[in-house]
Amino acid sequence: MESSAAEVSDRVRLARLALRAAVASGDVVRGVAGVGVPRVTRDAGGLLVGVTATAQADGRYEIDLRLVARLVPLAALGEQIRKRVIAAARRGRLDDQLGNVNVEFVDLQAVGGALANAAPVAPEPTPVSTATPGATMPGDGPATVTPDASRTESRTAIDQPPPAAEGSL
């Protein structure tokens, strides 16, 4: 049987319905390709920006969504989107093809349309407590750890290198 250009693969159908389900939630502004590994799927009508459908080892398709959302509780929105994608796959009779559904929010849109993170910014250090319970030494306190945990700036006097001895280089 010869394949026609009008036929759409299950992979593309899943990507399309996943993106539509996410945007239909009302709290998603749009999908975005992003940087690094772009979330884009080619469709007969162009590109589906903000979604990829990738074959898993078990033959099903993993859906990855990268989205801009309104200022709402994101954990709840992510779970709502997962449920909407699963329901849409069931309605489209693709539920047996649907694998993992991953939702990523890369920006937030405030009321009035301004993006919360319109320009790339360096991540703020996240405070992590390293104090020993009951410690009362001056200088004891939390350290600041960057999100990737590759650098730590300590404010604890004990963690500072010893002063150089006199006469040493």
Give every CB contact of residue 162 below 8 A, 6+ residues apart in sequence: none
Q: How confident is the model at residue 2 (pLDDT cuts 50, 70, 90)?
A: very low
d(CA 70, CA 86): 22
Which of 9-23, 27-41, 89-103 comes out lowest in average pLDDT? 27-41
pTM of the prediction?
0.62
pLDDT of residue 18: 95
Which one has a higher pLDDT value, 142 or 31?
31
Which of 19-33, 65-79, 93-107, 114-128 comes out lowest in average pLDDT? 114-128
Q: For residue 88, which phi and psi values (nearest 5 degrees)?
A: -65, -40
Report the alpha-carbon angle 36-42-43, nearest 5: 150
Q: Are 40 and 12 in contact (CB under 8 A)?
A: no
d(CA 155, CA 20): 49
Which of 16-25, 38-47, 91-100, 115-124 comes out lowest in average pLDDT? 115-124
Q: How confident is the model at residue 6 (pLDDT cuts 50, 70, 90)?
A: low
Closest to 156 (Cα-Cα) out of 124, 134, 132:
132
Per residue in 108-139, pLDDT (tens digit) is: 887 666 555 544 433 333 333 333 344 333 44
Per residue in 32-67, pLDDT (tens digit) is: 998 888 898 998 888 899 999 999 999 999 999 999
Q: Match 């004990």 to its residue by tokens.
A: 158
Q: Rounded mean pLDDT of 1-27? A: 83
Domains and CATH numbers, the chain: 10-109 (3.30.70.1350), 122-158 (no CATH)
